[in-house]
Structure 1
């Protein structure tokens, strides 16, 4: 059985989706629709150097759009193939809802743009600039203890993502930039290209507004179940989606545990639009993971599923 994967913020890059649009009228049409919906030249945003791609509202819109491009191109050629379940990382959980049928492209774009805008609004109220830091090769227990100690001293510091041997911290950017690998028992630290923090209590003030957006955007129509980032439970209806997509704003992404839920039933994984999860899965799973980011990888994935 297959599991569909969808990446989140931090996976954006200049040029994303360009090859798909160059070779597919469907992808080009979706990009044009996104430009109309968001009143923004999406090809220019996606394919030229600009600061806006790393601003959360546009970051989320770009990733959702390219994820849906890759998914729809694949689905249009893969016949009646339905996955066992879908798993998205952070923003990717919303993309998974879109792929399952609960969001149209327009609904999804408006939702993720507003999600990003609300996140930016909340984070800019903070006295200092916020950011997120990937910690590679450290023991989770040690990181949790370090965060507890930092908070006890009045520092804003939370674990936002549990990705196995990679953990992502949310906090004040100045503090994150001063951290050294040895202080966390880590091999490497990487500051992520994000203008907001996520999956921690900082975002609590936006929950009510986001729930209103979710309620008006989601349709109660799911072709497959989706794993909640925050609870690892599988849901397949609007009521549960409202709860899960809300709570994941203020709770950490449990990606490693979510993948464990998949492992017993998954024969392979396909990631749509990004390749970050493919790289994470190399350390977390011995099952094949393919990522679709261009026409060559699309053809590779289609051939793979035909053979399996």
Structure 2
């Protein structure tokens, strides 16, 4: 994408892979291809168009300037969690010394495309936060974490602290990052749970839960449970859906999600603030059955939906 020649206010994302300088040529190639795949998948699953981003690549990372109008909350929240899930899948079968682990920093400010790259203090600041010693140390001290996120003070105060995202404000650590000009205040987030842990509702199985639950919602199965006497085994689905509707209503949104992606975003937000949702989802995932939606044709066909762990 061509960035405007004039300065404009944009969201800036800086990404860097751990341990690139210590690797050989094959390791460098693996990191570069892995990072590209992870970022591509994360953007796609977050509903973002990576091909519209202005990007400045640097082998072990990149600096991204998002287009004007790109949903800010989706970048700060959805993109990070989708990239985290993609990293988890990428690293699943790899040795610890071959895992791809990254630092992400996000800022917002005035930027333009210069003769040899991006120009703007927000780019300098965001890259410094990404490369801060505290962020590097945090990744080393948390060997099971696949990423570390650093936000500028302004983004944290205006977006996270005001509860516009699924992050808990108290899960961030305040940083003071010294620079040549001043000390930058920033906020760092380190994932605290293992995506591979079984029996919980987390980013590893949320898309699968959303797929199955949306099929039941769209087919009208939850409304017909009582009439068809098939409530046994779907109690978790009904409780989970009721909790989602209650949560959305409290936020002033329509109670019922409008799409599978809308449902998934609500699940991602809700699971971080309500422990009961995890219990309902565990019941939902534990239900081993097939629900025959006899009167719910989709595209003219009758569909059987299997709910499995």
Normalising by structure 1, report the TM-score. Answer: 0.30
Structure possessing the higher radius of gyration over alpha carbons: 2
Larger strand share, 1 or 2: 2
Of structures 1 and 2, the one scoring higher in RCO (CA 8 A, sep 6+) is: 1
> 1 or 2, which has the higher helix percentage?
1
* TM-score of the superposed pair, with normalisation by structure 2: 0.30
